[in-house]
Amino acid sequence: MAIRPQRLETIAPVIASFSISQTASVDDLKDADIGKAVTISANTTVSPCADGDQALGKLIALTLTDADDGERVASVQIGGICRLATATPFPVVGNRILGAAGGAVKQAPALVGNDPAGGNIARGTVLEVNGTTDCLVLLG
């Protein structure tokens, strides 16, 4: 009998609901962004991760449809284990992540000296890296 692969992503995810940030009255998140990394924006809204953003978590679902700007709610995995797309510099097992362009994540840089004011914005612990495609991250 073959050993079944582990499905760590299904273990105790922590999910929270957020309003979606808008640009010119249009939601910054659409159905195509489900599964991507998001960041916290002004007024406790969420938006796609851009390069260097602190990754809040993974967009799991959106209510309503893409046509319902201003009324949708985003469900975001903010804790537990999730798989996120990667960008360069690619994450390394045991290290932390930052947001990258297009809702991906990248290797957090090493800090020189003390953490910046407000604390270190790197997030999570990388558990597995799948080449240059994605990584498994423990959000905590």
In sequence order, the 6+-apart residues with CB closer than 8 A to the CB of 69 are: 22, 25, 26, 27
Q: Residue 113: its pLDDT value, please? A: 66
Set out the domains of the chain in order of their start, with CATH numbers.
9-110+120-139 (2.40.300.10)
3-state SS class at 14:
strand
How many Å apart are CA 31 and CA 63, to the nearest integer?
9
Read off the amino acid at residue 28: D
Q: What is the pLDDT of residue 43?
A: 87
State residue 32 phi and psi, 5-degree precision: -65, -15
- The DSSP 8-state label assigned to residue 87 in this structure reads -
Each of the 140 residues of the chain gets a pLDDT tens digit; together they read 788 777 888 888 999 999 999 999 999 999 999 999 999 998 899 999 999 999 999 999 999 999 999 999 999 999 999 999 999 999 999 999 999 999 999 999 887 766 677 788 899 999 999 999 999 999 98
118 DSSP 8-state letter: T
**pTM of this structure:** 0.91
DSSP state of 86: B
